[in-house]
Amino acid sequence: MAYSFSSLRVFGSIHCRFSNGIYFKPYHSCTLKSAFLLRGILSSPSWYSDKKVLPLELQSSNLVRKVWTFSPLCMGRRSCKIAGRKTTQDLKKAKLYSKIGKEIVSAAKKGGPSPISNTALAALIEKVKELDIPKDIVERNIKRASEKGQEAFIEKIYEVYGYGGVGIVIEVLTDKVNRSVAAVREVVKDSGGKMADPGSIMFKFRRARVANVKVTDVDRDRLLTIALDAGAEDIIEPSMGEYDTESDSSDSRAYKVVSSVENYPVILSKLQEGGIEFKPDNGSELLPTTPIEVDDEAMELNKELMSKLLELDDVDAVYTDQKY
C-alpha cells in the first residue's frame, strides 16, 4: 500500500499526517525530511521521493525522539501583548535608574560627594525622592564617581530616519562617546534605518514636562477640569490598540498631562490636592508636534528598531513622531 503525507507548520513546528491517519510528533523549526534524518531512520535525504512504502519503524510515534527547542507560548495574542507591556515597563524603570545613576556620577565628579556643598547633587537627590527611586542607587553612584578611571558622563542626541518617513530621536548619556555612537550606528544600519544630520529631526519635537495618570485611576472629565484649570498645556489621551479594552488596567494606558517646565510643580500640586495619583516624568520628554501615521508594516519595523536601540546600555530614551 502506498503512503502519502502532508505537513502543517504551527508555531514554528512541523505537524505531519500520513494518509493512514498516523500523526508524527512535532519537531521545532525543521522540515519533515530533517525530522526523519534526526531520528536516524533515513539513510538518504531523497527517501520520500524514491520510496513508496512507509517503513514499519515510522508507524510507531513512540519511537520518535522529542526535540523541544522553544519557550512556552502565550495563549492568545492579547496575553502576549500584556506580557510585552510588562517587559516594556520593566525596561523603562531600568533605563530611568541608569540615567539617574549616570547623572549622579557626573554631578559628584564635578562638585564633590557632599550634597551640602554640591547643589547639583542635592537637586538630584530631591529628584530621586520625587521619582521614588531606591536610595542605594544614590549611594552606589556617589561611590562610583570616586573610582579611578571613571569619567563624567556626556549627553548626546542622535537623530534617525525610520520607516514611512518617521523621525526618531535617541538620547544618550555616556562616558565613552565613540563607543555609544558606534553602537547606535550599528543598530540603525542593521535595522534598515538611516542616521540623520543634527537638527533634521529635532525640529519636529518640543520638550515639555509630563505627568502620567493611569486611565483606571481617574475620571476623564475630572482630570481635564483640574489639569486645565491648573494651567496644563494639553492632555494627551492614550490610543486604543487592536487588543485593548476599556477595562484593560495596564500601566501603558495613561493620560499625559503636558506642562511647561515653569508650571510643572503647580500641575503636580493641583493633582495631589485633587486626590489624583500620577507618575512624574524623568526630567523632561520630547513630544511630536505633528504625529505621522504609517501602515502596519512600517509601524512594526519602527517599533523593532526602537526596541533594539533601548537595549543599548548608553541609550536612556528613544522618542518618535510615529502615530500609534
Do 168 and 303 have their domain in common?
yes
Measured torsion, CA atoms of residues 238, 244, 248, 250, in degrees rounded to the nearest 10: -60
For residue 141 the three cell numbers come to: 553612584
288's grid cell: 511630536
Domain count, the chain: 3
Give per-residue pLDDT as tens, 106-126.
888 888 888 888 888 888 888
Q: Is 125 helix (H, G, I), strand (E, B) or coil?
A: helix
| Structural domain ending residue among the three candidates 120, 136, 152 | 152
Sorting pLDDT into bands at 50, 70 and 90, what band is 76? Answer: low
Inside any domain, residue 127: yes
C-alpha–C-alpha distance, residues 126 and 169, integer Å = 28
CB burial of 53-63 (b: ≥16 within 10 Å; e: otherwise) equals ebeeebeeeee
Q: Do residues 9 and 51 both lie within one domain?
A: yes
190 with 90, same domain: the answer is no
Looking at the fold, whether 182 and 319 belong to one and the same domain comes out as: yes
What is the average pLDDT score of the chain? 76
**Does 303 map to a domain?**
yes
Residues 200 and 289 in one domain: yes
Cβ atoms of residues 27 and 18 within 8 Å = no
Instruction: State phi, psi for 277 to the nearest 5 degrees.
Output: -75, 140
What is the CATH number for 140? 1.10.10.200
pLDDT in tens, 281-296: 877 889 999 999 999 9
Residue 115 falls within a domain, yes or no? yes
Which of 63, 83, 103 is the endpoint of a domain? 63
For the residues 4-22, what does the mean pLDDT come to?
Answer: 43
**Whole-number Å distance between alpha carbons of 150 and 110:** 12
69 located within any domain: no
In terms of domains, do 173 and 294 share one?
Answer: yes
Burial of 259 (0-12, 13-18, 19+ CB in 10 A): buried
Which one of 41, 63, 85 terminates a domain? 63
Are 171 and 288 part of one and the same domain? Answer: yes
Please give the average per-residue pLDDT across 47-72, as a whole number. 44
pLDDT tens profile 209-248: 999 999 888 899 999 999 999 999 999 888 654 334 444 4
Question: 68 in a domain, yes or no?
Answer: no
% of the chain residues with pLDDT over 70: 68
Report whether pLDDT(143) > 60. yes
Residue 3 has pLDDT above 50, yes or no: no
Statement to judge: residues 291 and 281 lie in one domain: yes
- CA–CA dist 213, 227 (Å, integer): 11
Name 194's bridge partners. 161
CA angle 112, 170, 232 (to 5 degrees): 85
Of 291, 51, 301, the residue nearest 190 (C-alpha)? 301
**Residue type at position 244:** D
On whether residue 105 sits in a domain, the answer given is yes
Predicted pLDDT of residue 241: 47
In this structure, the answer to whether residues 158 and 148 fall within a common structural domain is no
In order of 125, 232, 263, 301, 313, the CA distances from 68 in angstroms are 49, 54, 57, 29, 32
Residues 15 and 117 in one domain: no
- Please check whether residue 70 lies inside any domain of the structure: no
CATH of the domain at 311: 3.30.70.980
- Do 216 and 275 share a domain, yes or no? yes
164-196 CB burial, b ≥16 within 10 A, e <16: eebbbbbbbbbbeeeebbebbeebbeebebeeb
Q: Ranked by mean pLDDT, which of 18-22, 93-97, 148-152, 179-183 comes out on top?
A: 179-183
CA separation, residue 1 to residues 44, 67, 237, 318 (Å): 21, 30, 66, 63
Task: Give a yes or no: residue 208 inside a domain.
Answer: yes
Q: Is the pLDDT of residue 186 over 90?
A: yes
Domain that holds residue 44: 5-63
Do 163 and 92 fall within a single domain? Answer: no
